[in-house]
Amino acid sequence: MKSLTAEQVDSAPVPELIAATEQALPHQAHALARARAFAEPFIAAETLDTGENTLAHADAVAAILKSMGGSEAMQAASYLVYAVAHLNKPQEVIAKAFGDSYAALAMETNKLVKIQLQTREAEDAGRLVDDPKAQTEAVRKMLLAFSRDLRVVMLRLASRLQTLRWHAACKTVAPPSVAREALNVFAPLANRLGIWQLKWEMEDLAFRFLEPDTYKQVAGLLDQKRVERELYVEEMRSRLEAELKARGIRAQVHGRPKHIYSIVKKMRGKSLDFDHVFDIRALRVIVPTVDDCYAALSWVHEKFTPMVEEFDDYIGRPKANGYQSLHTIVRDSGGRAIEIQIRTQAMHDHAEHGVAAHWAYKEAGSKGYSGVSAAGEYDAKIAVLRQLLAWERDLAGSGEGLFEDRIYVLTPGAAIVELPQGATPVDFAYTLHTNLGHRCRGARVDGVMVPLNTQLQNGQTVEITAAKEGGPSRDWLNADLHFLASHRAKAKVRAWFNEQIKHETIARGRESVEKLLQREGKTAVKLEDLASQLGFKSADDLFAVVGKDEYSLRQIETVLRPPEAPIAVDDLLLLRKSRNVEKTPKGGVLVVGIDSLMTQLAKCCKPAPPDAIAGFVTRGKGVSVHRRDCSNFREMSARNGERVIDVEWGTPKADSGAVYPVDVGVEAADRQGLLRDISEVFAKEKMNVIGVQTQSVKGTAWMTFTVEVADSGRLNKVLGLVNEVGGVRWAKRR
């Protein structure tokens, strides 16, 4: 068969859709017979986990595929799938005997069989605790993520239908996990791919095993009036077709069979009893044009009594997936209800074969797949199916698939985890739990230890080895090392490091505040109370700004010390009575008008010769000497100008060795060896570094060096050298 054109896809019957996916398989002579003969020695005496003979199962699957329109090539694959487990190098052996395409199909399908078995075993053991609906949807997605070749889906659908048929024929009960998987996974896939007959049969069989009592009850109710119902529907069909023809409307009218599971769904969905399920009797009318649809509807409503509340115009208001049809329920003269659907041939083709396109549209959401927007018209949506079939026609092509941006892997408990393409075990760990991601130290994929930056593949089972405590590695954020593909995982790693920086900053601030309290003899002060006094919500908020050098300890000192009593008039007169210059014995500072007055260098601005300085008389600690450009000094002098006195530097003795501590601030691009390089500058210039504080946030480093200088003027030269260090943006005295 020739492959279908893109324009033909949306109107092709199911057998042609299947055939369109088979072009890549070489049609070898006697492929079916050869495949059966190849597999028979391995599987003739073998049974499946259900108890069915494997060869008999493969024979039945091949027959189902044939009835669906599958070629001999696809039927042959149903035998090769079960031979895989008996071969040492199955891909090589099958490829040599039948070709690469057969080998790939058999291997992919066999892999799916194993995954499904593992998932069912986990469900039977009660290990799956996640949302069953989410788990079911993940299984569906994973099936098609594996199944870049639609034939893999066909093979699995046929196999599951045969399993249910076998249990029904043998009058044995299918395992609940098998029946549930058929009802919740395979039947919806058949529905979405437009394989209606298989979907209905699978639903009824699965429901028969899951709810046998309800199944028997509804089957009995249907059987009681089956002959009468079929005669009535045929009579209505003939009458409707003839009278529409008489009115010039060429119509094809068909009866619509109702299946037990769909009847039960209708009863439960609308809380109806059996007698009130109106569409047990149903007809479908197919006419040439839209005008004919409304003309036929008008005639139906003239001849019968319409149930207005049950009328739906999906032509005027199509469903989201593009479905169009008129739905009405009418009663005849005897009060019997019958459902009638009216549509054009094009609408019918969409309803029958557009399901797969709707499936792709619905799964894609607003984002769409492969550049096809889900927000577009039906033509855009059907393009998804066309692309899918095009991919399937040439398995030797690029290999791109429907879920090219997602993969699905398993936990050791067989829960399915959705990840982005290129995801690693670290992504997997963070998807399960943030704390597991932080503590991730190793991984096993399908039982084998692998590096943490290994890219995962569909269907693999991943197990994480975690430390009892600890955090992520900075290497994980290095894009060149490919440890993370998930944006969510990357954000969690960044958040962890930001939190660590915050903790370190708070710890540094706490240490500074506690040392200040010790110096001031205020260790009994409660830290939370102190923070509240200073206007902070918590002590940690205070420590954070102190740790970042954004809040002066001087402001905390002000709160800790009680207000000083006003200086007595006699003391102020004493400060002003003398203008002679007297050298004080401390620090080489000359204080005007005061004999042997105690002096100290202010810690807030750390003055050093030849800075311009001024004195401020304190209570109990003598004169505090500040740089004249000190912000604290400017504030104090503005409030208490009468306490400011003139001071100047004295001339130190040549051998005194007097030095003064000063603070130097540096901002730079953080890099390895930065602190060492800056420290070497100070060492070469013979400036002793007596303290260093550093902080790095998002690649920027802030540093404060406390160095001893004899002359602050020489410091400017050294700062010029620091500014030349690689990465330094600025260096200046604080």
% of the chain residues with pLDDT over 90: 21
Ranking 189-198, 248-257, 475-484 by mean pLDDT, the lowest is 189-198
Angstrom distance (rounded) from CA 583 to CA 82: 104
Q: Which residues contact 216 (CB under 8 A, 6 or more apart)?
A: none
- Quickly count: other Cβ atoms within 10 Å of residue 21's Cβ: 25
Tens digit of each residue's pLDDT (9 = 90 or more) over 711-723: 887 888 888 899 8
- Where along the chain do its domains lie? 6-198, 225-353, 406-485, 496-560, 569-649, 660-733
User: Could you tell me which CATH number the domain at 406-485 has?
Assistant: 3.10.20.30
Binning pLDDT at 50, 70 and 90, where does residue 490 land?
Answer: very high
**pLDDT, mean of residues 512-522:** 82
pLDDT tens-digit series, residues 535-544: 888 888 888 8
Burial letters for 494-526: b for 16+ Cβ neighbours within 10 Å, e otherwise? eeebeeeeeeebbebbbebbeebbeeeeeeebe
Count of other CB atoms within 10 angstroms of residue 652? 13
Top CATH class of 6-198 equals mainly alpha
CB distance 256 to 283 below 8 Å: yes
Please give the residue that has the higher pLDDT: either 275 or 682: 682
Q: Which residue has the higher pLDDT, 289 or 565?
A: 289
Which run of H or of E encompasses 198? helix 196-210
What CATH number labels 660-733? Answer: 3.30.70.260
Mean pLDDT of the chain, nearest integer: 76
The pLDDT score that the predictor gives to residue 388 is 35
Query: Which of 731, 729, 669, 665 shows the shortest CA–CA distance to 699?
Result: 669
Minimal CA–CA distance to 645: which of 582, 570, 572?
572
The most distant pair of C-alpha atoms in the chain lies apart, rounded to whole Å, by 132
Out of 3.40.50.2300, 3.40.710.10, 3.30.460.10, 3.40.50.300, the CATH code matching 225-353 is 3.30.460.10
Q: Has residue 473 got a pLDDT over 70?
A: yes
* pLDDT, tens digit, 9 for 90 and up, residues 408-463: 787 887 667 888 889 999 999 999 999 999 999 999 998 899 999 999 987 788 99
